Structure 1
């Protein structure tokens, strides 16, 4: 028995933004790795890339996200 049921048909009112086609779609039409969502409205889904840019900027400038103000991928090892 499968742990997760694969849903092939979307629910009415679920909106997604497809990264491949750069379009808004109702219900999951493209594979999960290629979309953002679900969103409650078509309008929210149409702003998915803008929302992602804003969130990335917030995370990149959040002092709690990076230890001691170091950039991503840098370790705080005691070398040197």
Structure 2
């Protein structure tokens, strides 16, 4: 199976931007995401997921 991780998009927590491929250590990135636009929304997606998880805890 081919490793397509360089084709996927990540949100870089170090540079605060979407980047293609695994350019940084796993602790400095979120993803992978299917495209740049989704990676750019990574922090919003995380906030939504955290809110949903918090609601499930109640």
TM-score by length of 2: 0.84
Please list every run of at least 4 consecutive aligned residues from structure 1 whose deviation after the TM superposition is greater than 4 angstroms: none
Gaps in structure 1 of 5+ consecutive residues: 1-6, 70-80
Q: 1 or 2, which has the higher helix percentage?
A: 2
Give the total of aligned pairs: 55
Report which structure shows greater RCO (CA 8 Å, sep ≥6): 2
TM-score by length of 1: 0.63
The two structures, once aligned, show a CA RMSD in angstroms of 1.6
Q: 1 or 2, which has the higher strand percentage?
A: 2
| Larger CA Rg, structure 1 vs 2 | 1
Gaps in structure 2 of 5+ consecutive residues: none
